[in-house]
Structure 1
Amino acid sequence: MANQVTETSRPDGRNRMVDIVIIIVITAASLLCLMPMLHILALSMSGNSAIMAGRVTLLPIDIDFTAYRTVFGNMQMIRSLGFTILLVSIFTVISMTMTIMAAYPLTKRHLKGRDVFLFIIVITMFFSGGMIPEYLLVRNLHLLDSIWALILPGAINAFYLLIIKTFFTSIPVELEESARIDGASQYRVLFSVVLPLSLPVLATLSLFYAVGRWNGFMDALLYITNSNLYPLQLRLYEMVVNSQVNSMLEGLSSVAPVPESLKAASIMFATLPILLVYPWLQRYFVSGMMIGAVKG
């Protein structure tokens, strides 16, 4: 009987072939996602002559770190990096706090007007006032040229709110009831029971909020004119636009376009900090932390 179970539990040749195909497909997809980053990295470390000749692909040629020395020696880029880190930190904390505080009450069926609140939130996912009304609102609130113009208008994402609400709803009611029997208030239940069990979704959405704010530049382009408040992505946008303009004017004046290696080094400079956050949060992405929380 044991031999029979062992034989049936062994994967046959067909299963092995399927596993091999899956591994090959996933590996190819991973390489396709990684190749653009490797190309930019190679450009940032290559000499301008090799770049202009089109000889740089995935490996640097004529290794030259002049572009990185230029980027790290540019105080405007360093100032924008520090401001962006501060902006993303404040934005993520405020966004997650407001999203959690809005999502948790919506999980309570006895909340009056809950369906109306949900309907209003869902409506904002499909309809918005548009760019001009939003700009007028920010201007009338006297938020122009301030860090709050980059934080408050997008502080809550309706889709993320619904995700957290759905996750909160999946937490067994018995856990909250046992906490209330012990005399815990709603706030104590939220901070001592619900949030510790929600670390995977909280970490994931915190990363989504942070990445979205880190990559955003359009609102800064509209609301910010003070160069000291330029986020890093707006600096990159200016560099690309100025490079295109300089390229068109190159034959009419002495203006030279921005070297490709410098643009690539600036992209790496703006990308690596947010990439370093992912490994720190990766361990929370595995769900199933509530297995065994409710014991029969």
Structure 2
Amino acid sequence: MITARSSSDRWFDLVNYTLLAVLMLLVLYPLYFIIIASFSNPDLVNAGKLWLIPRDTTVEGYRRIFSDDSIWLGYRNTLLYTGLGTAINVVLTLTAGYALSRSDLPGRGLIMFLITFTMFFGGGLIPTYLLVKQLGMLNTIWAMVIPNAVSAFNIIITRTFFQSTIPSELLEAAVIDGCSNTRFFMRIVLPLSMPIVAVMVLFSAVGHWNAYFQALIYLKDDELYPLQIVLRNILISNDVSGNMIDDLANLSEQQRIGELMKYGIIMVASLPVLILYPFVQKYFVKGVMIGSIKG
């Protein structure tokens, strides 16, 4: 039976849609502005004459960006750190979350207490740096993937998902059929847990892709810098140099092209994540909601 909507319901929907539309514009417009600014005349951008559509379009910024070796090197390093770090994060998080979801795990309460304790108390930057140094990971790729290999927050989300999604009766039936714990996890648990796997992949990949502080602290060799450090040097230190603008003799022209390239580099650094998110969005929402509602 369909109930007629009252005028107050319609006004409520109107207000909701209006507020959501305004919030969407506030979120999307800065990204849209960066896109059109990366293709527009930097003089018009600096003069505040660019609002909705590109003006005096040019691809000079992107041409110079992709002709510079430091950008490609940073891209390669970031892809390596993201791929390796995400694989380590997901494997450790899923295995730890599943083990802690099992009621027959000895000392489960103590282990969860110790994991939760790390969310409130930590050694700090200096002890962490000394530990990384003593382990011989300074100025290596391992400094980018090992220190943050496990997140207590992600383990808790994963454990909650397994507890609320994988019934104990399923394990009992599998054991009766002669299935081992490892085989049960690989063949039954993981195929049923694609939402939380996608969530962990998204969390880990975005975190590694945007990571720069670890590289700033632990890396000294320019050859190991990720893309975010290259971007930081350009945006904060105005370090647009090398093959990018050295062929421009005029200082003012170098500044113009440098401003144009800054917007282009932001897009180059953000594009992979923007492409990835729509494909995992449905798993992301489903996984988080199942863990939060049933946990």
The answer for the alignment partner of 1:215 in structure 2 is 210
Encode CA deviations 1:141-200: one digit per residue, 9 max, x unaligned.
Answer: 111111111000001011011000011111222222222222211112212222222211
The answer for the alignment partner of 1:203 in structure 2 is 198
**Partner secondary structure for residue 101 of structure 1:** helix
Letter in 1 for 2:178: G
1:132 aligns with 2:158: no
The answer for the alignment partner of 2:28 in structure 1 is 34
CA contact (8 A) 1:81 1:231 kept: yes
- 2:227 aligned residue (225, 232, 240): 232
Q: How far is the alpha carbon of 1:52 from its aligned partner?
A: 2.4
The answer for the alignment partner of 2:266 in structure 1 is 267
Question: What percent identity do the matched residue pairs reach?
Answer: 39
* C-alpha separation in 2, matches of 1:224 and 1:278: 29
Aligned residues: 276
1:119 aligns with 2:119: no
1:152 aligns with 2:136: no
**Partner secondary structure for residue 216 of structure 2:** helix
* C-alpha separation in 1, matches of 2:267 and 2:47: 22
**Partner secondary structure for residue 243 of structure 1:** coil
CA contact (8 A) 1:47 1:63 kept: yes
* C-alpha separation in 2, matches of 1:285 and 1:138: 33
1:80 aligns with 2:74: yes
**Partner secondary structure for residue 284 of structure 1:** helix
* C-alpha separation in 2, matches of 1:202 and 1:125: 22
The answer for the alignment partner of 1:54 in structure 2 is 48
CA contact (8 A) 1:48 1:259 kept: no
Encode CA deviations 1:230-266: one digit per residue, 9 max, x unaligned.
Answer: 10000011112322899xxxxxxx6965732211110
Q: Which has the higher contact order (CA 8 A, sep 6+)?
A: 2
RMSD: 2.2
- 1:99 aligned residue (72, 93, 98): 93
- 2:10 aligned residue (16, 21, 44): 16
1:241 aligns with 2:240: no
Q: How far is the alpha carbon of 1:131 from its aligned partner?
A: 0.9
Mapping 1:62-73, distance limit 5 Å: 62-73=56-67
Q: How far is the alpha carbon of 1:275 from its aligned partner?
A: 1.2
* Structure 2 length-normalised TM: 0.87
The answer for the alignment partner of 1:174 in structure 2 is 169
* C-alpha separation in 2, matches of 1:74 and 1:211: 24
* C-alpha separation in 1, matches of 2:37 and 2:85: 32
Q: How far is the alpha carbon of 1:111 from its aligned partner?
A: 1.7
* C-alpha separation in 1, matches of 2:115 and 2:222: 35
CA contact (8 A) 2:240 2:258 kept: no
**Partner secondary structure for residue 126 of structure 1:** coil
**Partner secondary structure for residue 125 of structure 1:** coil
Letter in 1 for 2:43: S
Q: How far is the alpha carbon of 1:202 from its aligned partner?
A: 1.5
- Where structure 2 has 5 or more consecutive residues not aligned to the other structure, the ranges are 242-250, 291-295
